Amino acid sequence: MRKSFWLKTGIMFGLTLLLLVPLGMIEGLVGERAARQRAVLSDIAASSAGSQQLFGPVLAIPYAEHWIEVLESKADGVPRREEKQRVDNRVLYFFPEQLDLNGSLTTEIKRRGLFKVRSYVLNAEVKGRFSLPAGYAKPKPVHNGRIVIGIPYASVVVTDMRGVLEAPGMSWDSLDYAFERGAELPIDQVSGMHADVGLRTDAEDPVTLPFAFSLKLRGLEELHFVPAGKQTRVVLSSDWPHPSFQGRFLPDPQGQKVGPHGFRASWSVNALASNVAEDFYRCRNIACFDSFGLRLVDPVSIYSLSDRATKYGFLFVCLTFASIFLFEILKSLSIHPAQYTLVGLALAMFFLLLLSLSEHIPFALAYLVAAAASVGLIAFYLSAVLASTRRGLGAGALLGGLFACLYGLLQSEDNALMLGSLLLFALLAAAMVATRRVDWYRLGLTPALPEDSSRLKPGEPEVIS
How many whole angstroms separate alpha carbon 7 and alpha carbon 153? Answer: 84
Average pLDDT over residues 109-120: 76
| Claim to verify: residue 237 and residue 333 sit in the same structural domain | no
Q: Which residue among 263, 296, 329 closes a domain?
A: 296
* 319 touches 274 (CB < 8 A): no
Q: What is the pLDDT of residue 114?
A: 66
Q: Which residue among 296, 329, 360 closes a domain?
A: 296
pLDDT beyond 70 at 72: yes
Residue 42 lies in a domain: no
| Claim to verify: residue 276 and residue 316 sit in the same structural domain | no
Q: What is the pLDDT of residue 56?
A: 86
According to the per-residue pLDDT averaged within each range, which of 119-133, 299-313, 448-462 is highest?
119-133
Q: What is the pLDDT of residue 443?
A: 58
How many whole angstroms separate alpha carbon 235 and alpha carbon 294? Answer: 12
Instruction: List Cβ neighbours of 103 (8 Å cut-off, separation of 6 or more).
Output: 122, 123, 124, 125, 234, 235, 236, 237
Q: Which residue among 264, 296, 328 closes a domain?
A: 296
Q: What is the pLDDT of residue 291?
A: 92
Residue 465 lies in a domain: no
| Claim to verify: residue 283 and residue 310 sit in the same structural domain | no
According to the per-residue pLDDT averaged within each range, which of 13-17, 20-24, 217-221, 417-421 is highest?
217-221
Higher per-residue pLDDT: 283 or 274: 274
Dmax over Cα atoms in the chain, in whole Å?
144
3-state secondary structure of 250: coil
Q: Between 302-311 and 313-330, two packed helices, what is the crossing angle to 10 degrees? A: 40
Q: Which domain holds residue 318?
A: 4-36+302-444
Higher per-residue pLDDT: 361 or 460: 361
pLDDT beyond 50 at 450: no
| Claim to verify: residue 244 and residue 372 sit in the same structural domain | no
* 310 touches 358 (CB < 8 A): no
| Claim to verify: residue 266 and residue 339 sit in the same structural domain | no
Q: What is the pLDDT of residue 453?
A: 42
**Region of poorest pLDDT, from 274-288, 350-364, 379-393, 415-429:** 415-429
Higher per-residue pLDDT: 458 or 216: 216
Residue 182 lies in a domain: yes
pLDDT beyond 70 at 27: yes
Residue 41 lies in a domain: no
Half-sphere exposure of 286 (CA within 13 A, CB side): 25
Residue 200 backbone zone (phi > 0: left; psi -120 to 50: alpha; other: beta): beta
**Region of poorest pLDDT, from 82-91, 167-176, 224-233:** 82-91
pLDDT beyond 50 at 1: no
Measuring CA to CA, which residue among 256, 253, 249 is closest to residue 289? 249
| Claim to verify: residue 284 and residue 334 sit in the same structural domain | no
Return the percent helix, strand and coil in the chain, to nearest 5: 40, 30, 30
3-state secondary structure of 436: coil
Higher per-residue pLDDT: 274 or 464: 274
| Claim to verify: residue 179 and residue 320 sit in the same structural domain | no
pLDDT beyond 90 at 107: no
**Region of poorest pLDDT, from 98-107, 282-291, 302-311, 328-337:** 328-337
Higher per-residue pLDDT: 212 or 381: 212
Q: How many domains does the chain have?
A: 2
pLDDT beyond 60 at 267: yes
Higher per-residue pLDDT: 72 or 88: 88
Average pLDDT score, the chain? 81
Average pLDDT over residues 364-375: 89
Residues of the chain with pLDDT > 90: what percent?
22
| Claim to verify: residue 99 and residue 190 sit in the same structural domain | yes
Strands 175-177 and 292-296: unpaired
Q: What is the pLDDT of residue 314?
A: 76
| Claim to verify: residue 284 and residue 308 sit in the same structural domain | no
* Rg value, the chain, Cα: 37
**Region of poorest pLDDT, from 66-75, 286-295, 357-366:** 66-75
pLDDT beyond 80 at 36: no
Average pLDDT over residues 279-295: 86
Average pLDDT over residues 133-153: 85
**144-153 per-position pLDDT tens digit:** 888 888 889 9
| Claim to verify: residue 338 and residue 261 sit in the same structural domain | no
Residue 372 lies in a domain: yes
pLDDT beyond 70 at 332: no
**213-241 per-position pLDDT tens digit:** 999 999 988 899 999 999 999 999 998 88
pLDDT beyond 80 at 212: yes
| Claim to verify: residue 316 and residue 291 sit in the same structural domain | no
* 443 touches 6 (CB < 8 A): no
**Region of poorest pLDDT, from 66-70, 96-100, 370-374:** 66-70
| Claim to verify: residue 434 and residue 307 sit in the same structural domain | yes
Q: What is the pLDDT of residue 196?
A: 92
How many whole angstroms separate alpha carbon 238 and alpha carbon 106? Answer: 6
Residue 234 lies in a domain: yes
